[in-house]
Amino acid sequence: MKALVLREDSFQLETIEKPTLQPQQALIKIFYAALNHRDQWIREGQYAKIQLPAVLGSDGCGEVVEVADTENNKWLGKTVLINPNIDWGNNPNAQSKEFQILGMPSFGTLAEYVAVDIDRLIEKPTYLSNEQAAGLPLGGLTAFNALFNKGKVEKGMNVLISGVGGGVAQFAFLFAVAVGANVYVSSGKQAVIDTCKSLGAKEGVNYKEANAIKNLGKAVGGFDVIIDSACGDGMNELLGTLKPCGKFVFYGATRGLPKDLNMRQIFWNHLQVLGSTMGSDIDFGKMIQFCAQHQLHPILDTIVDFENSVAAFDRMKEGAQFGKIIVKINY
């Protein structure tokens, strides 16, 4: 089968052996896969415990073409999504030490076929196309956990989605709008801000402009919740826009640590700084149900052929996309 293989000295399509099923596994013929920033970080060597060779890809939509056990024959021929969460553990609020994400060390969805445990499968929501469905799992689950479990976002709250444009941030934006929050966004691109406003954002600002976020916070009376993945030196400005008892929820730190974190404004204003990551299997099911209830469609940036997948990675690295980059594999 064809797969996009990452090695020490190469990253290219190769022909490798089709996976051999273990008990309680299914073989999925991948129709479409989606890229995540996690994949690019692994490609660049900026991820923990990298094991090579690797077939990346945590998101995918495809057809069950083989099962290891006859008791699971009911899955044959079904179009499914894959829950990329592996070994989350028994604590619904935090992952176990054994936690992994599909697509390294286990081979992922950027291949014609992938083998996964049968309990990782969920039937594709009928209202979504295969392309849309492929972009939902990892980003949707991460956003759901950050927004609802950590941020406790509800209708009427002022919510800032900082740096909207990537996979997780776009889902946090869509989910917050769907629940009835007053949603504000920041981006380095006016076109992205305009698109978000057309989809329900109250307002948006360019974070490259001096004091833009600070002024937005003042104009709206402060934010109840901020969802962020950058941190860095801009974190103090973001914290300064929160209402008393507000929550700063971050699921990444792409800009690193702030040089000087203003601890006084955190304790004096009773702020909560909350780390977040993907989410449990229960959260995955809730996220899928939430999307179906509100008929939410992932924002897609581009759909590329498998042969152009390396170039698609480069587009993601440059931050040129708004929405998910989808790779056509078997279609």
Cis geometry, peptide bond prior to residue 53 (ω within 30 degrees of 0):
yes
Sheet strands (E) in 143-299: 158-161, 182-187, 203-206, 223-228, 242-250, 272-275
277 to 4, 67, 141, 150, 215: CA distances (angstroms): 26, 31, 9, 10, 29
- List Cβ neighbours of 94 (8 Å cut-off, separation of 6 or more): none
**Structure-token pair, residue 266:** 């955190």
pLDDT tens-place string over residues 223-244? 999 999 989 889 999 999 999 9
pLDDT of res. 254 = 84
**Structure-token pair, residue 164:** 């909207």
0.85 cut: is pTM over it?
yes
Q: Do domains 2-136+298-328 and 141-275 have the same CATH topology?
A: no
Residue 166 has pLDDT above 80, yes or no: no
Domain ranges for the chain, please list them: 2-136+298-328, 141-275
Burial of residue 155 (number of CB atoms within 10 Å: 0-12, 13-18, 19+): exposed
Give the pLDDT band (50/70/90) at residue 109.
very high
pLDDT of res. 218 = 97
Mean pLDDT within 280-296: 98
Q: Domain 2-136+298-328 classified CATH 3.30.450.40?
A: no
Residue 106 has pLDDT above 80, yes or no: yes
Lowest-confidence range among 15-24, 51-60, 246-255, 280-289? 246-255
**Structure-token pair, residue 69:** 């056990």
**Structure-token pair, residue 72:** 């699971």
Q: For domain 141-275, give the CATH superfamily.
A: NAD(P)-binding Rossmann-like Domain (3.40.50.720)
Mean pLDDT within 27-32: 98
Mean pLDDT within 62-81: 98
Q: How many CB atoms lie within 10 A of CB 15?
A: 9
Give the pLDDT band (50/70/90) at residue 255.
confident
